[in-house]
Amino acid sequence: MTTSTTLPHWDMTVVYPSMASPAFAQGFQDVIDAIAALSALFDQHGINQRPPATVDDATVRTFETVTQQYNALLEQVQTLSAYIAAFVSTNSRDDLAQARQSELRQHLVKLSLLGTRFTAWIGSLDVEQLIAASPIARDHAFALRQTRIRAEHLMSPAEEELAAELNVSGGAAWVKLHGNLTSQLTVTLPTDGATSATSATGATRELPMSEIRNLAYDPDRAVRRRAYDAELAAWERAAVPLAAAMNSLKGQGNTLAQHRGWPSPLDSAIFEANIDRATLDAMMTAAHESFPDFRRYLRAKARVLGIPTLAWYDLFAPVGGSDRSWDFDEAARYIVAQFGTYSQRLSDFAARAFAGRWIDAEPRPGKQDGAYCMPLRGDESRVFANFKPAFGGMSTLAHELGHGYHNLNLAARTPLQRQTPMTLAETASIFCETIVRHAALKEADTQEQIAILEASLQGSCQVVVDITSRFLFEQRVFAARQQRELAVDELNAQMLQAQRDTYGDGLDPNALHPYMWAVKSHYYSVGRPFYNFPYMFGLLFGLGLYARYQRDPEAFTRGYDDLLSSTGMDDAATLAARFGIDTRTPDFWRDSLAIVRADVDRFESLIAG
């Protein structure tokens, strides 16, 4: 392991010696050639033409040949894409990596078009007859049935091609506008105690929006308030073009959903999440029922901070503390040890990741913010982090290694079999994060327990309460956009109403955030409407599984790895049923939220004591 003063960079030489190497150049060319070969295979077998109504032996052979070659290509693309992304995300100034990524994207457009052709072809076959006739089709039964439904919602080939071409200068352009405008937005911040960025009483400084929003974590409430006021003023100045982007994207989403035969954009989002409306409604029912508990937590946090009611700018204020260093080596040892309390396989996986330099942990100039895990090749993943020596840094590593463990269990599946929806993508990460959190709470003194619990409750509040506000807002905007465009003031009013409906008396109603619709990039997505509720599903599903583990560890452990290996093989309700879980009734979601309620109770007890 690395020393605590030298944070590790990940090792990518296991794929290619370097991006400038002949081996990389050959690997890149191999992907280009494989895309061309798959296109030629599609043409040879008439994949873009309507096949016979009966699935005969020739059709079965064609399907098996095409599917095997398609899967092989997707494996190649995954490794090449991950390899290039590893350099771009850790050094945005790497011009060679940026150029190669841009070049690869051009070729992946061709692959995307082949995917649409494949979808249309599968949709024109008798899928059940194909599954009965082909072992490979049986192995891909769920993916094929989903593809058949997806095909029913394709427009004509000419319309789909036109939509894709228009999207470059339409939806994608509005997404780019939002990204460029918000990333380059600067904020005028008073530095001498003035309460408004427009005040003439004191000195000011210009900061990027990302730095201003990070001040929400400052321990000084006056700093948080000044940052909040300055942030709102900056969003007000940028609101007109962002409202245009919002209106255009939601209008395009409504139009495409209508022409593709979806009752609404939400229906298409539910389908892509591998759930049904009953599951979504059950989860949302339980979420709404939990709001009083989250408001208890918010009021308790206000008491810790010594204020009557939290304002929006107090949501992320730090409370509690810890004398424990949690440097990288300590974090690594702790994760390996605590994962071992669940299973030796999980512990060995974490040890392998640390020893094999799968983790890029050092924050440095040119490196993106945040954390993620990506599959690389075979059963290997790579974990991206900006490690900070604190409990949160350790917890983030455990979370991302959970994703890696999920990838380990998916490795034996083909790419078409392991297409895990967002709703199930957090299954292992939340579980692994919960393992280390519960262990740390047992060892912590009172102040560290408060800090750990508050960090967890803060995250849960965002995922349950704030995500619900985002869901309500988006639902209402899509509905209103069917009639006309919405003005800035109307978008603000919808956002404030959604926040009042969810946070209630947990926050000061006069200090909410009317421009959260401008802040969150999730609203500005062409192909993923309602990029919000899957996060709630992921958290609550992971917590619910942990509750099942606590009740019967031996039985749970026997089936958990198989569940992780199957997240692309069936819908969420069917997979959950393996553990006796019914996602279509609120009871399971209530059980998950009971874990959060217990944390609120403990938090209140600790701060009172």
**pLDDT tens digits along 421-442:** 989 998 999 999 999 999 999 9
Q: Report which listed range, 49-58, 213-222, 405-414, is most confident.
A: 405-414
378-395 confidence digits (pLDDT tens) = 999 999 998 988 888 899
- Confidence band of 196 (pLDDT split at 50, 70, 90): very low
> In the block, which residue shows the tokens 């421009």?
515
Return d(Cα 395, Cα 414) in angstroms, integer.
Answer: 30
Which H or E element spans position 120? helix 95-123
**DSSP classification of residue 464:** I
| pLDDT on residue 204 | 85
| pLDDT averaged over every residue in the chain | 92
To the nearest 10 degrees (0 to 180), the angle between helices 586-608 and 277-305 is 10
| Domain locations along the chain | 22-152, 328-449+533-608
- Confidence band of 168 (pLDDT split at 50, 70, 90): confident
Q: Is the pLDDT of residue 138 over 50?
A: yes
| Count helices and strands in the chain by DSSP H and E runs | 25, 5
Q: Which of 155, 263, 172, 272 is nearest to 479 (CA)?
A: 263
524-563 confidence digits (pLDDT tens) = 988 889 989 999 999 999 999 998 899 899 989 989 999 9
Please tell me whether residue 73 adopts helix, strand or coil conformation.
helix
| pLDDT on residue 418 | 93
Own/partner pairs for 367-371, CB < 8 Å, 24+ apart? Answer: 367/89, 367/90, 367/91, 367/92, 368/89, 368/90, 368/92, 369/210, 371/396, 371/399, 371/400
Which H or E element spans position 187? strand 186-190
- Confidence band of 195 (pLDDT split at 50, 70, 90): very low
Return d(Cα 496, Cα 478) in angstroms, integer.
Answer: 16
569-587 confidence digits (pLDDT tens) = 999 999 999 888 999 999 9
Return d(Cα 346, Cα 446) in angstroms, integer.
Answer: 30
Q: Is the pLDDT of residue 497 over 50?
A: yes
Q: Which of 167, 225, 246 is nearest to 520 (CA)?
A: 246
Show the tokens assigned to 448.
Answer: 């560290």
Are 457 and 465 a contacting pair, CB within 8 Å? no
Tell me the pTM. 0.87
Q: Is the pLDDT of residue 5 over 70?
A: no
Q: Which of 533, 570, 525, 581 is nearest to 419 (CA)?
A: 570
171-184 confidence digits (pLDDT tens) = 888 988 888 888 78
Of the given ranges (106-110, 561-565, 584-588), which has the lowest mean pLDDT? 106-110
| pLDDT on residue 52 | 59
Q: Are strands 186-190 and 204-208 parallel, antiparallel or unpaired?
A: antiparallel
How many angstroms separate the Cα of 307 from the Cα of each of 299, 593, 607?
Answer: 9, 27, 14
| pLDDT on residue 53 | 60
Q: Which of 533, 488, 538, 534 is nearest to 514 (CA)?
A: 488
- Assign domain 328-449+533-608 to its CATH architecture: Orthogonal Bundle (1.10)
- Confidence band of 50 (pLDDT split at 50, 70, 90): low
Give 196's contacts (C-beta < 8 A, 6+ positions apart).
190, 229, 230, 233
Query: Which residues are bridge partners to 360 per DSSP?
Result: 384
| pLDDT on residue 201 | 54
| pLDDT on residue 212 | 86
Q: Which of 287, 608, 343 is nearest to 469 (CA)?
A: 287
Give mean pLDDT, residues 322-335: 91
Torsion angle of the four alpha carbons 592, 596, 597, 603, in this order, in degrees rounded to the nearest 10: 160
Give mean pLDDT, residues 208-212: 82
Q: Is the pLDDT of residue 349 over 60?
A: yes
